[in-house]
Amino acid sequence: MLPNAGKIAWVVLLIAFVATEPLGSAGGAGHRRVRADSWEWELPPGFPAPCVPEDNPLSVEKIDLGRYLFFDPRLSGNATQSCASCHKPELAFTDGLAQAVGSTGETHPRSAMSLANVAYNSTLTWQNPTLTRLEDQAFVPMFNTHPVELGLAGNEDEVLARIRADGAYPAMFAATFPGDPQPLTIDNITRAIASFERTLISGNAPYFQWVYGDDRAALGPAAKRGVKLFFSERTKCSMCHVGFTFSGPIRARGLEDIEPTFHNTGLYSVDELGNYPPESPGAIEKTGLDRDRGAFRAPTLLNIELTAPYMHDGSIASLPDVIDFYAAGGRGPGRTNPNKSQRIAGFELAPGEKEDLIAFLRSLTDRAFVDDPRFTSPF
């Protein structure tokens, strides 16, 4: 369940500079062109080409359609909420809530994950190791009933009629799916949204400018000290937040698939078995394996200063509190959870070192990404 983190990092580095050609100024200094179907990625230095499923090739038309649908509240059962309601560009495609709230007012047991670099994720939710395709993941918020999210279940015909009644959408679907006699379908909606999400590449934070670029002044002294702490054996932060996504294992073109990882960080322990609260039990809900009690996917740390509150249930409010949590080796009874990862052993920080870690984490904020007009509402 927990593959060698160093192997992941090295494989990523080895494939990072796949056959590409320099990109002009539109993509930014050092960016590279990588073709996928009729689409051309603009990839930051050090980023390999994402995988694209054969049954859903990328196209300019499909990505544009997906962007419209992503921001359109008519896609929910009661026409009040869009995908972007829980994934706001200015918050790195999170929502600022401890736990997401659906279109009917029901609270989700977990927080909305960031969509930054979601094209690389080997798994797509906090605790489901079987959900690996963006096309399949889109069905979850659409049709979930416990809790209701977008609330399409039982409202499919009404939602499709709304979309069909819009003057622009029928032509957009026809242009996007030219060989389909009935292009305006729920399946094609998920294909378009997934294609838009695959373009949400974030790789222009000061840290990346410092590592891959020529800007040696992109990080200040505190952030540079924080880099050393983050990647140190003492804190072990980089054991779970791996590679250029600062997350778990990735999928990318030319990279061998690596088993997904899920971690029990010692946040809870409600009984002698080390269970978590029943509304979010961890990956055990899908696997049934004891080792997955309270085990969750490591979220990306890119743009982390924009995505508070933290943890799968939003139960930690701030970055200083997160660092205190890991330094303590967990929280309350969770510190002695029998399923807690051995990597969560706690650590001591000298005066000023917590501030150094926070300075480094803030250097992972990609303002160009959150302000990119290609990723904002077209309405």
Whether residue 277 sits in one domain with residue 133: no
The reported pLDDT for the residue numbered 213 is: 81
Supply the CATH number for residue 341's domain. 1.10.760.10
Q: Please, what's the b/e burial string for 304-319 (b: 16 or more CB within 10 A of its CB; e: otherwise)? A: bebbbbbbbbbbbeeb
The reported pLDDT for the residue numbered 29 is: 56
Residues present in the chain in total = 379
Q: Look at residue 99 and tell me if it is in a domain.
A: yes
The reported pLDDT for the residue numbered 18 is: 30
Q: Look at residue 49 and tell me if it is in a domain.
A: no
Distances (CA, A) of 62 to 70, 183, 195, 265: 12, 12, 7, 39
Q: Look at residue 312 and tell me if it is in a domain.
A: yes
The reported pLDDT for the residue numbered 35 is: 85
Number of domains in the chain: 3
Which of 200, 235, 269 represents a domain boundary (last residue)? 200
CB 68 within 8 A of CB 172: yes
Number of other residues whose CB lies within 10 A of the CB of residue 378: 11
Q: Look at residue 132 and tell me if it is in a domain.
A: yes
Q: How far apart are CA 133 and CA 135, in angstroms?
A: 5
Domain span at 19: 5-43
Whether residue 336 sits in one domain with residue 277: yes
Whether residue 242 sits in one domain with residue 278: yes
CB 372 within 8 A of CB 201: no
The reported pLDDT for the residue numbered 258 is: 86
Distances (CA, A) of 88 to 116, 119, 374: 11, 17, 13
Q: Look at residue 173 and tell me if it is in a domain.
A: yes
Whether residue 318 sits in one domain with residue 242: yes
Q: Look at residue 375 and tell me if it is in a domain.
A: no
Q: Which two tokens stand for residue 107?
A: 């609270």
pLDDT digits (tens, 9 = 90+) for 42-95: 899 989 999 999 999 999 999 999 999 999 999 999 999 999 999 999 999 999
Whether residue 108 sits in one domain with residue 25: no
Distances (CA, A) of 339 to 45, 157, 262, 284, 347: 38, 46, 11, 11, 19
SS3 of the chain: helix, strand, coil, percent, to 5? 35, 5, 55
Q: What is the DSSP string of 257-324?
A: P-----B--SS---STT-PPPTTS--THHHH--GGGTT-BPPPP-TTGGGS-SBSTT--B-SHHHHHH
Who contacts 13 (Cβ-Cβ below 8 Å, separation ≥6)?
A: 46
CB 298 within 8 A of CB 248: yes
The reported pLDDT for the residue numbered 236 is: 97
Q: Give me the residues of the chain with pLDDT under 70, please.
A: 1-29
pLDDT digits (tens, 9 = 90+) for 176-233: 999 899 999 999 999 999 999 999 999 999 999 999 887 889 999 999 999 999 999 9
Q: Look at residue 51 and tell me if it is in a domain.
A: no
Whether residue 230 sits in one domain with residue 354: yes
Q: How far apart are CA 370 and CA 193, in angstroms?
A: 18
Whether residue 263 sits in one domain with residue 169: no
Q: How far apart are CA 62 and CA 132, in angstroms?
A: 20
The reported pLDDT for the residue numbered 273 is: 97
Across-strand partners of 39?
36
Q: Please, what's the b/e burial string for 14-38 (b: 16 or more CB within 10 A of its CB; e: otherwise)? A: eebebeeeebeeebbebbbebebee
Whether residue 218 sits in one domain with residue 123: no
Computed on alpha carbons and rounded to an integer, the radius of gyration of the chain in Å comes to 21
Whether residue 137 sits in one domain with residue 219: no
Q: Look at residue 35 and tell me if it is in a domain.
A: yes
Distances (CA, A) of 283 to 62, 290, 347: 33, 10, 26
Q: How far apart are CA 67 and CA 378, in angstroms?
A: 7
